[in-house]
Amino acid sequence: MNPIGFRKDRASEILNKRDIDLLIATTPVNVFYLTGLPTLHVWKNPILYVLENQYPFYGLVKRDGSETLLYWAVYQSLDKFSWVKDARGIISPQQSLVILTNVIKEFGLEKGKIAVEKNMYRYQSEYLKKELPEATFIDADESLLEMRIIKTEEEIRRITKSTEIAEKAIFNMAEETREGISDNELLQIARRTIIDEGADGWDHLTLGIGQSDPEAPGIGTKMRFGDIARFDIGAVWEGYVSDVSRHVVLNEVPEDAKEKYDIMIKVQEFCEENIRPGVSTTEIKKESKKFSKSLIKRGLGVITAHSIGLETEELHFFSPMGSAKLDFQENMVLDIEIWTEYKNANLLGIEDCYVIKKDGVKRITKLNKDIIIK
């Protein structure tokens, strides 16, 4: 089996650049990325995720990019999912730490520079520091993110398929939208569509009707004439997620809402036209904000671009909540979302998924950008 997103050469380059002898991943998403072991919470059977407290897993990468995997010994289907040849079974949390420490000593790295995730369990990090007092421990998070942020063609394929399924869910929800339909009924349509289309499950089902809280649907809110509904859906296809948002109204779009929404599309398209390899994230943030202010007379304009892949928001390239300082690169996959305040909804805006190519961004999302009228 070939790696999905992990690249030995890129990993080796990053670890050497950061002078790291060994990187140890312990969180489900990063162990999946490094090894293919199906540790994610959304899987055909997420048993490895469920039993992590008793049977932890570890993905190790040495400076040369070679890998070692520690996993639950009872799991018999490793060869169907993981490409790692050096795989060693464990049967308890305590034994896993002994094996992990012995592997590090076997590599001759008991005095080495070892990168571990910030979210590594405390009992694990404290054990390593006690048993390897001469080792230097640093954070692995930035190294892992740097590995993951450039996508392979296989990763892009999976994100694209996930996006298609999220769009189908939005389309089916919109088709069934009518006066009196509840958020619970719409959520059922979304879930059913995602599963029927063959996805592993859903990453998020954000759904707002009128002024209801889109982050907490499922309380029985019903659609009424004059409401603007927001469907923000993320499916999961073979581990990779999507993030698409559209609005739905009954009969017609209020004129003031259409005016605001059209501005949001223009700001999104400004980002589309200006993001390309070699352009800095800070430059796009500055220029898009300036462009937005030239169009919005009053109110709030929220402009966000975030990396997407194994997680919905791997990294905020730029947003009101924080921004990275780096240049966009080919085969980064990102979500561009633009929002503004509106009186009859929490936020009014648009959200689509893109992949960066040599000459600029290519939109993965296929849905029409307009507000959907029922």
Residues 100 and 221 in one domain: no
Q: What is the mean pLDDT of residues 213-232?
A: 95
Residues 202 and 327 in one domain: yes
Helices and strands: H and E segment counts in the chain: 10, 16
Please give the mean pLDDT across all residues of the chain. Answer: 96
Question: Is residue 294 included in any domain, yes or no?
Answer: yes
CB–CB of 33/147 below 8 Å? yes
User: Considering the entire predicted model, what is its pTM?
Assistant: 0.96
pLDDT digit string, tens, across residues 141-153: 999 999 999 999 9
Residues 138 and 196 in one domain: no
Residues 111 and 157 in one domain: no
CATH number at residue 39: 3.40.350.10
Instruction: Please give the pLDDT value at position 299.
Output: 66
pLDDT at 320 over 90: no
CB–CB of 112/135 below 8 Å? yes
CATH number at residue 178: 3.90.230.10
Residues 172 and 271 in one domain: yes
Instruction: Please give the pLDDT value at position 344.
Output: 67
Look at residues 88, 120, 148 and tell me which one is the last residue of a structural domain: 148
pLDDT digit string, tens, across residues 229-286: 999 999 999 999 999 999 999 999 999 999 999 999 999 999 999 999 999 999 999 9
Number of compact structural domains in the chain: 2
Give the contacts of 20 (CB within 8 A, at least 6 positions apart): 63, 113, 114, 115, 138, 140, 143
Cα gap 52→68, rounded to integer Å: 18
Residues 320 and 214 in one domain: yes
pLDDT above 70 coverage of the chain, percent: 99
Tokens of 358: 């040599």
Instruction: For residue 297, count CB atoms less than 10 angstroms from its CB and return exposed for 0-12, middle for 13-18, buried for 19 or more.
Output: exposed
Look at residues 94, 117, 148 and tell me which one is the last residue of a structural domain: 148
Look at residues 95, 130, 148 and tell me which one is the last residue of a structural domain: 148
Residues 303 and 176 in one domain: yes
Q: Which domain holds residue 263?
A: 153-373
Residues 142 and 248 in one domain: no
Residues 164 and 282 in one domain: yes
pLDDT at 296 over 90: no
